[in-house]
Amino acid sequence: MRLLQPDPAAALLGLRAMKTVASASGAMSPVRRALLDAARRMVLRIDADIDALAPITPAELAAGFPSPELREQFTNGMLVMALADGVPAREMVAEVEAFAQALGISTPALADVRLLAEKHMTLFKLDFLRRSQIADIMKDQLSQKGPLSLAKSVLTMRGVMEDPALAARYRTWGKLPEGTLGRSLIEFYAANGFSLPGERKGFPEAGLYHDLCHVLGGYGTDPEGEIQVAAFTAGFKQKTPIFIVLFAVLVFSTGVNMRPTKEAFTTVGVLGKPGMAERMFAAIERGSQVNQDLSDKWDYWAVADVPLDELRRCLNIVPAA
């Protein structure tokens, strides 16, 4: 998932469309304005007075956007804009739908956001999650480890049971040399009070790439860090990368708990914090340079004893900007 930079004329049309969405239900909120300005500077790279931008019709935008890739990118950007500051109003979602239709873009994520705006929470969560990275993790767990392991992983994640043998296998990483991937993950878990796979509330092995990306990318576990690690992952993810971005935005900027644990906290408007939207775009760009999809059955056991710096070079994980 690489962020494309359109030519200046198309960029201005896109910026006007994003502002039209952000203002669809009234005055543009400070959070959405911060996101719009970050997109202007970091993705579109044009000089424009946001306050002076005129609205644009879907037909006008479509006429200036011939590229299918740009059409998809801007539709995804409008979805992030709609979710950036709490549950969006129906009018805002309707505006995104009108632009998407004119651009010829049909995405299940847009139908899900409509369900959210209409407060059909159960249907929204069920449909979104079955298309998200959570479903991919469960499918990979099943294909790699079998049905019994999948059942165990779900029950341990829910805190119902534990798998001592599996947990013990991961604890051996604590004996690896300092600075290696495995040792660093154990230290990351200890510092944050997280459970290992096999321990109660530990995550399935097929989803361990998320925590390993925290370690490899140097991202924290606060809301800002979680949005960045999701954006970083979306950069290299080959299958439906927008869903992992939307998942993090929903939890930390829309305020909707999408995680499988009831006690998980949520926040609203994180994308409006100074520099946060810029860091999200930078993380996408950084992830797009990684030379392997780490979410697709990556064999991290084969590199658990490799020093982080060496592994980052091998994977082309460049230093954070």
Statement: residue 62 has pLDDT above 70: yes
Check whether residue 186 and residue 66 sit in a common domain: no
The answer to which of 100-104, 141-145, 195-199 has the lowest mean pLDDT is 141-145
Q: How far apart are CA 275 and CA 86, in angstroms?
A: 19
Statement: residue 115 has pLDDT above 70: yes
CB-based burial label for 128 (10 Å; 0-12, 13-18, 19+): buried
* 83, 98, 131 - which closes a domain: 131
Q: How many CB atoms lie within 10 A of CB 195?
A: 16
Check whether residue 164 and residue 308 sit in a common domain: yes
Q: Give the pLDDT mean for 40-69.
A: 94
* 105, 131, 157 - which closes a domain: 131
67: left (phi over 0), alpha (psi -120 to 50) or beta: beta
pLDDT at 259: 81
pLDDT tens digits for 206-251? 899 999 999 999 999 999 999 999 999 999 999 899 999 999 999 9
Check whether residue 69 and residue 197 sit in a common domain: no
Check whether residue 171 and residue 303 sit in a common domain: yes
Higher pLDDT, 189 or 321: 189
- Count structural domains, the chain: 2
Check whether residue 123 and residue 203 sit in a common domain: no
The answer to which of 64-78, 127-141, 187-201 has the lowest mean pLDDT is 127-141
pLDDT tens digits for 264-279? 789 999 999 999 999 9
Whether 245 is in a domain gets the answer no
Q: Indicate the average pLDDT of the chain.
A: 93
CATH classification of the domain holding 14 = 1.10.3680
Check whether residue 188 and residue 294 sit in a common domain: yes
Check whether residue 192 and residue 311 sit in a common domain: yes
Kindly state the DSSP code that residue 84 receives in the 8-state scheme. Answer: B
- Please give the share of the chain, as a percent, with pLDDT higher than 90: 80
In this prediction the pTM is 0.93
Check whether residue 162 and residue 123 sit in a common domain: no
pLDDT at 160: 84
Statement: residue 16 has pLDDT above 70: yes
CB-based burial label for 291 (10 Å; 0-12, 13-18, 19+): exposed
Whether 270 is in a domain gets the answer no
Whether 64 is in a domain gets the answer yes
Residue 88: which domain range? 8-131
Place of tokens 């992952």: 233
pLDDT tens digits for 295-308? 999 999 999 999 99
* 87, 107, 131 - which closes a domain: 131
DSSP symbols for 224-252: HHHHHHHHHHHHH--S-HHHHHHHHHHHH
Statement: residue 263 has pLDDT above 70: no
